[in-house]
Amino acid sequence: MRSISVLGATGSIGASTLDLVRRNRDAWRVVALTANCQAEELARLAIEFGAELAVVADEACLPLLRDSLAGTGIEALGGPIALVEAAARPVDLTLAAIVGCAGLAPTMAAIEQGRVVALANKEALVSAGEVMTAAVARHGTTLLPVDSEHNAIFQCLSGNDLGNVRSITLTASGGPFRDWSAEQLAAATPAQAVKHPNWDMGAKISVDSATMFNKGLELIEAHHLFPVALEQLRIIVHPQSVVHSMVEYRDGSTLAQLGPSDMRVPIASCLAYPARMDTPCAPLDLAALGELTFRAPDEVRFPATRLAREAAGAGGAMPAVLNAANEIAVAAFLSGHIAFTRIAVMVEQVLERYAPAPPVSLGDVLAVDAEARAQARALLEFA
């Protein structure tokens, strides 16, 4: 029996992870589960899986969590420090799925245990890539990518030398607006943006898919996970979301990983690594699919991938600035304060105005993140 902690247990990634654990109860012992403020749901999961510890990031939700766990013997804590304490508990595998920069410190705490971290928090590598990868090397941690694209690349690289790689291609569905005109994009609503055609995801990541910022962030993440030259990383739009990524080798061979649009597939790859495990996902029926199509991304209608590539090329703190500005812009769009097309404009304006020194510690990263958010909020006052 292996031990596991799930950071972000009530989100979509956490739910998919616990579904797999539920189907293999004899293989896992759940140590810690965390959530932002979904106290009753977190308590239900903690009781179901016999967790040792349940933590809410929002301390105001702690009384409800304690009431919900009364008499169970499960420890209940709250606040950012408690999140880090939960992540620092030694387990065989930590699933890090806390959304946004709130997940940076807990992810770092998990990395510092020197075990296995299955990373679903892309901000960890986008905002703090050099700091995080240095910590992974220092502590001998095994870092497994959960994102479907990065997990696909990881599988396609298995047993091969990065020196033999000609290119790595991340596929993008293109989101719900991939065929929309510039005029239609300007009038897009939050309700339309969160209706992803292929994946069931949260509001923020769904908007990121619609703008293509999600793919831009994934390009930066891939640059840290798979250290090839930036020009060797490519993006292609693949509306069916069946091919999750591809690796081309110098002999002309291209390996691709295919699978259903279900996050339980890459999560299972991480849980079972280096072996394989069963999932309830239906096998691919390629004959029923009929065809797989690909097209080049349109960086005029969707400038996010260009901005991400430029931020990655600049290096240092610029990816963290891009990520923070995007989070503020997406929140403003979802609340109805700005138009959909204003998201990328805001991010580019912040990148032009704020160029801090490269961060050397997690504290530096968080300071950059805070200032970039402040810069973005200042722009909103004049929007």
Return the ∠ at Cα 111 (arms to 108 and 113), rounded to 5°.
120
pLDDT value of residue 325: 97
Tell me the pLDDT of the chain averaged across its residues: 95
pLDDT band at 101 (very low <50, low <70, confident <90, very high): confident
- Give me the residues paired with residue 214 across strands: none
Q: What is the CA radius of gyration of the chain?
A: 20
Domain boundary among 145, 175, 199: 145
Residue 57 pLDDT greater than 90, yes or no: yes
Residue-wise pLDDT tens digits, 107-144: 999 999 999 999 998 888 999 999 999 999 999 999 99
Q: What is the reported pLDDT for 331?
A: 96
Q: Are residue 77 and residue 173 in the same domain, yes or no?
A: no
**Domain boundary, last residue among 145, 173, 196:** 145
**What SS3 state is found at 89?**
coil
Identify whether residues 115 and 97 lie together within a single domain. yes
| Beta bridge partners of residue 114, listed in sequence order | none
d(CA 146, CA 162): 20
The single-letter code of the amino acid at 51 is A
DSSP 145: E
Domain termination site, one of 260, 294, 315:
315
Q: Hey, which residues does 172 pair with through a beta bridge?
A: 237
E strand or H helix at 275, and its extent?
none
- Say if residues 29 and 5 touch (Cβ distance below 8 Å): no
Rounded distance between C-alpha atoms, residue 120 and residue 117, angstroms: 9
pLDDT value at residue 382: 67
Residue ranges making up the domain that contains 116: 2-145
- pTM (two decimals): 0.93
Instruction: Report the pLDDT value the prediction gives residue 211, as an integer from 0 to 100.
Output: 97
Q: Which of 3, 5, 2 is nearest to 82 (CA)?
A: 5
Residue 222 sits in the same domain as residue 235: yes
Q: The domain spanning residue 101 has which CATH number?
A: 3.40.50.720
Q: Are strands 254-258 and 243-249 parallel, antiparallel or unpaired?
A: antiparallel
The token pair at 21 is: 């654990």
Select from 360, 311, 366 the least CA-distant residue to 134. Answer: 360
Reported as a single tens digit per residue, the pLDDT across 21-44 is 999 999 999 999 999 999 999 999
Whole-number pLDDT of residue 201: 72
Amino acid 383: pLDDT: 58
Residue 261 has pLDDT above 80, yes or no: yes
How many residues in total does the chain contain? 383
Q: What is the pLDDT of residue 381?
A: 81
Decide if 122 is inside a domain. yes
Q: What is the pLDDT of residues 146-205, one digit of tens each?
A: 999 999 999 999 999 999 999 999 999 999 999 999 999 999 999 999 987 777 677 888
